[in-house]
Amino acid sequence: MRLANELYRDSAVTAPSSSPTSAISSVSPGAPDTFAGIPGGVPGTAGSRSIFPDSFAAFPTEKPDNPGLAGGYPLATTTAHAPIHADQVEALGPPGSGNALDSGAHQQDSNEVYPFGEPRCNGSFRAREAYADTVESSPLFYFLREGDSRTGLRGQEPQAGPPLSGLEVDTIRKDFPVLHQRVHGHPLIWFDNAATTQKPRSVIDATSRFYSRDNSNIHRAAHALAARATELYEGGREKVRRFIGAADTKEIVFVRGTTEAINLVAQTYGRTHIGRGDEILLTVMEHHANIVPWQFLAEQTGAVLRVAPINDAGELVLEQFVPLLGPRTKLVAVTHVSNALGTINPVETIIGMAHAAGVPVLVDGAQSAPHFPVNVQAMDCDFFVFSGHKIFGPTGIGVLYGKAALLEGMPPYQGGGNMISDVTFEKTTYQGIPQKFEAGTPDIAGVVGLGAAIDYLSSLGMPAIAAYEHELLEYATQALSSIRGLRPIGTAAVKASVLSFVMDGLSNELVGRHLDRYGIAVRSGHHCAQPAVRRFGLEGTVRPSLAFYNTRDEIDVLVRALHDLRRR
């Protein structure tokens, strides 16, 4: 198994200071001396060689502020630039004045590490004019590299190209009607993409066209509209298969969203294979949708939840994850990208370790599917789940991918029409997969809209989207570092487009309401990830989150609004 986990170091990391609840077991002491199937053994275990790289020659390091992580945090090699300070912003006027911050005009080349926030945050901070020259050479462009553990692109030839240009993004924005409105007298700036994404006209039109022309139930009639509706529905299944790289359309189950997909696995696979004393391994950074269904299952069966910790940057501590994979572990459920922190987990490494122990893995892809290419076969996950509304499609539709052999062995989740083969009062027999899990009339229009969203994303190219969003994330991280008293939450070396923060002396709700006055939509709260937020001693954060239709100018407005709030 190829391991592209160079950003996680072979070193001891101190466990989080916060203790898990009494209902959750702590990390068990000790670990096996060897780990079958993992080249070189397991990090931090006696008698074995680390699976992690021996050196980080490409990553100059700074002294870490977390003493538990020996050797520092990896940084990219490009030159840092001085941040925009509050006194420089003063002359630019309040948000909406038309005097957009220009990173090139208000930065000076230097080797200065940003005075606010950890220097490890997101690797380097590039000036916008120098960025294009460093795209191919940057070691943090994980989504463009062959064999990367975070995208599942192993064995594929990267088709990256340059990130989306400003002109292309201006054109793209015209496809999204909701963006062209004013809120409180200001142009809407949608920075709440981790909660839900806006819909392009093609998705809206596809859904409307279905209801106005093709509306019918599927599979069970001989008339023309039923044939058209069935073709659209099953065509949507094929689009999903291609989008995530599944082997067969029968491995694609349509559900209401990520939450229902995880509940389905918990109540079918879980009830069949997990019993009293068995263990389900999660991480601290999981969304509630990947915690509560497993708590339900544990209460029903007597199973035990085990929780792997994260470090001060919001990264999974793999050295403490490994010992939790024990003989009683029956399932690993892990987020691909943290919705609260932006951390991108090395899921292929996690899956390889779990499979070597004979443990299947469910990957929550709600926050990865919208941002970079995913290939479930290359990743080798057993289950993968995501929601349509996070990938610019309709609400109320989602996807469960499962390996065919696993799905075939799972009992139905719900009973009713469409999922049956034959019904008598004595016995009912069921359809094969995936229909076995799709009881009743499904959200046909939702599938049509989801297919249109996938078409739209495919036309832009997921690698190009990933590159542009990475550039935008670095620009935003740099800009936010200029705000006095702003503390970023989630500073992983490899992360997606989430910018959670808190501001000294200001409540998250106050910050969110202030930004709304300027038409800026952000999320404030615990983001349905309370254990992750509480790991940092907090009950909530302010969370701007980015998508490919966002721009640097919008980030400049956000920064000016926050400076304005701080001055007050």
Q: What are the residue numbers of the active site?
A: 528
Q: Where are the alpha helices (DSSP H) in 197-278?
A: 201-209, 224-244, 258-265, 271-273
SS3 state at 79: coil
List, as one string, the DSSP characters of 434-458: TGGG--SS--HHHHHHHHHHHHHHH
CB 331 within 8 A of CB 280: yes
Residues in the chain, total = 568
Angle, CA of 252, 409 and 274, to the nearest 5°: 105
For 185, the token pair is 């007298």
The C-alpha atoms of residue 495 and residue 391 are separated, in whole angstroms, by 18
Within 8 A by CB and 6+ apart from 155, the residues are 146, 147, 378
φ and ψ at 541, to 5 degrees?
-140, 170
CB 76 within 8 A of CB 140: yes
Helix (H, G, I), strand (E, B) or coil at 537: coil
Q: Is the dihedral of CA 212, 214, 216, 217 positive or negative?
A: negative
Position of tokens 């509304």? 389
Question: CA–CA separation, 144 vs 139, rounded Å?
Answer: 10
Residue 72 and residue 61: Cα distance in Å, rounded?
A: 6
**Residue 118, C-beta contacts closer than 8 angstroms, at least 6 positions apart:** 64, 65, 73, 313, 488, 491
